[in-house]
Amino acid sequence: MNERALLVAEGISHRYGRGKWIFQDLSLELRAGEILAVLGPNARGKTTLVKCAAGLQRPSVGVITRRAHVGYVPQSLAAPSSLPVLDMVLTGRTRFIRPYRSPGRRDRIAAFEALQRIGIEAIAEQEFRALSGGQRQLVLIARALATECGALVLDEPASALDLRNQAVVLRVLRALADNGMAIAMTTHHPEHALRIADSTLLFAGSRDIRHGPTDELLTDESLTELYDLPVATGTILVRGRAQPVVAPDFGMKYGRSRCTTHLERSNP
Ligand SMILES: Nc1ncnc2c1ncn2[C@@H]1O[C@H](COP(=O)(O)OP(=O)(O)OP(=O)(O)O)[C@@H](O)[C@H]1O
């Protein structure tokens, strides 16, 4: 076991009840400073895996060792709370608050700083359940940050976010990892994985789960096979800065002929 490994899965398999195996015999280490992206088609087991990693679900077989407090960001909440946003984020401080005590000044500061980090302190007083889906997603990320976790597990953290907030969240996650946090996130955006993830776990099938450096694993061939759809990857210059692009062929003609941008193939 690597000494920087904060989350270690050894030979884990899972199935619900006596149903089919979702994944089998998976071993993985997530190290301090590393971002792991978990990619795959719908219903392959990504959420199940991150719930196991966060300790919310016990794998049917195998062991997960956590060497740090693990923060968890769900896709959404089934029963959204009527609490104000700041109080919602304060629930992330529970592990620092003694039984029957109220959150203290330090907890309030930590919760407010978590909101600031995500850039949503302006909605601190609003009722959580009255927020939009994207705003709720940002609050759930802030709540996880308020836990002062050493490892963070996020389930599709950018699925409801506009482009600007996707950038905010990706930048925050990369900065947290650069400061030593271990991060795992599921995503349906391969380009998000290419931007920030050091390594990727591809759920091709229950017995075919591939793990490797993101830029080696996410190729035209592997994504085309994974999604059963032609996919091309490349880089594009936006204001002189190279950005990864992942272009699926949706099988429809693109009506307007606007292809004026030079696309540099990253996988020639
Ligand atoms: N509580 C449960 N009981 C029984 N089956 C479940 C349960 N939760 C998930 N499943 C099944 O496990 C499989 C994997 O589900 P999971 O949510 O982990 O997939 P996913 O890859 O995260 O999907 P998506 O990309 O659509 O979010 C699916 O077939 C799902 O129906």
ipTM of the complex: 0.98
**Which of the listed residues 47, 188, 189 should we mutate to test ligand 1's pocket, taking the one with most ligand atoms within 8 A of CB?**
47
Q: Report the predicted TM-score, pTM, of the whole model to 2 decimal places.
A: 0.92
Retrieve residue 155's tokens. 């389930």
What does the pLDDT average to over 8-20?
96
| Domain assignment of residue 21, yes or no | yes
Query: What percent of the chain stands above pLDDT 90?
Result: 82
Range of the domain at 71: 5-213
Residue 227 in domain: no
The reported pLDDT for the residue numbered 254 is 73
Identity (one letter) of the amino acid at 113? E
229 domain residue, yes or no = no
* Atom 17 of ligand 1, residue of closest alpha carbon: 47
- The pLDDT of 100-105, averaged and rounded, is 88
Exposure string for 50-68, b = 16+ CB within 10 A, e = fewer: bbbbbeebebbebebeebb
- 13: part of which helix (H) or strand (E)? strand 5-14
Q: Does residue 192 form part of some domain?
A: yes
Residue 262's pLDDT is what? 54
Lowest mean pLDDT of 33-37, 80-84, 112-116, name the range.
80-84
pLDDT of residue 1: 67
Is the pLDDT assigned to residue 263 strictly greater than 80? no
pLDDT at 268: 46
Cα 165 to ligand 1 centroid, rounded to whole Å: 27
Which pLDDT belongs to residue 255? Answer: 66
Q: Is residue 225 part of a domain?
A: no
pLDDT for 57 equals 95
Which of 29-43, 57-71, 202-216, 254-268 is predicted with the least confidence, judged by mean pLDDT?
Answer: 254-268
φ and ψ of 145, to 5 deg: -65, -35
43 exposure class (CB count in 10 Å sphere: 0-12, 13-18, 19+): exposed
**Ligand 1 centroid to residue 181 C-alpha, Å:** 27
Domain tally, the chain: 1
Q: Name the closest-CA residue to atom 11, ligand 1.
A: 43
Calculate how far, in angstroms, residue 167's C-alpha sits from the geometric centre of ligand 1. 28
Torsion of CA 220, 222, 224, 228, to 10 degrees: 180
Residues with CB under 6 A from ligand 1: 16, 22, 40, 42-48
